[in-house]
Amino acid sequence: MTRTADIRVLFVCTANECRSPFAAALAQRRAAGLPIVFESAGVEAWRRGVPETGLRHARELGLDLTGHLSATVHPDFLDDYDIILGLARSHLRELASMDSGISSRLFTVKQFAAWVREHPRRGDIDVRAWLGSQLPSEPRGRILSADPKDDVRDPIHRPIEDWRTMSTELIGTIDALVEGLFPAASR
């Protein structure tokens, strides 16, 4: 596989203190060695870290999130990302209101994982060109559904079991995401 410019993916949740930093860390580990970069932000971040329960769970997974400080999504930088993944449908609405030009690159993480299973990227095609060529044939309403199952439940202020549920859900979703973006590397 010819190495192309890195694909940039942004995970977005509410405060960037639990779901999106976990998603980015898990995805970066899963895609190690592939030309892809995962980052995270929140629609309402306050420069705080991951709560202690989350840090404890991160250690269980072999992740170190102690240096994470939440960051707010900045509308001026949304165009820098090839794929923008909300952890809940509410995040998509907020992101779309910031920049209507991102709609072809905007999904919940679960929606994108389901969609990319059916539409794996072929070869080294540019991600934005690939999305643009695939999405016109897809009814956008089916992709951006109103199904609550498309949300990853927020574990903030919840027991560690809820954090474990979140990460288990994210791991399977991220596996599908990486396999769809890099099918040849996943074999």
pLDDT single digits (tens) 52-110? 999 999 999 999 999 999 999 999 999 999 999 999 999 998 998 998 888 889 999 99
Q: Is the pLDDT of residue 142 over 50?
A: no
pLDDT single digits (tens) 97-141? 998 888 889 999 999 999 999 899 988 889 998 988 876 555 455
Question: String of b and e for 48-80 (b: at least 16 CB within 10 Å)?
Answer: eebbebbbebbeebebebeebebbebeeeebee
Q: pLDDT at position 145, please? A: 58
Give this prediction's pTM: 0.92
What is the spatial distance between Cα 139 and Cα 175, in angstroms, rounded to a whole number? 25
Q: Is the pLDDT of residue 182 over 70?
A: yes
Q: Where are the domains of the chain?
A: 7-181
Q: Kindly state the average pLDDT of the residues 164-185.
A: 94
What is the spatial distance between Cα 85 and Cα 79, in angstroms, rounded to a whole number? 13
Q: How many CB atoms lie within 10 A of CB 8?
A: 15
Q: pLDDT at position 2, please? A: 37
CB of 42 within 8 A of CB of 16?
yes
Task: Give the pLDDT band (50/70/90) at residue 169.
Answer: very high
Q: Which SS3 state, helix, strand or coil, does residue 38 take?
A: strand
CATH topology for 7-181? Answer: Rossmann fold (3.40.50)
Average pLDDT, the chain: 90
What is the spatial distance between Cα 104 and Cα 92, in angstroms, rounded to a whole number? 12
What is the residue type of 172? G
Q: Nearest 5 degrees, angle CA 101-CA 132-CA 130?
A: 130
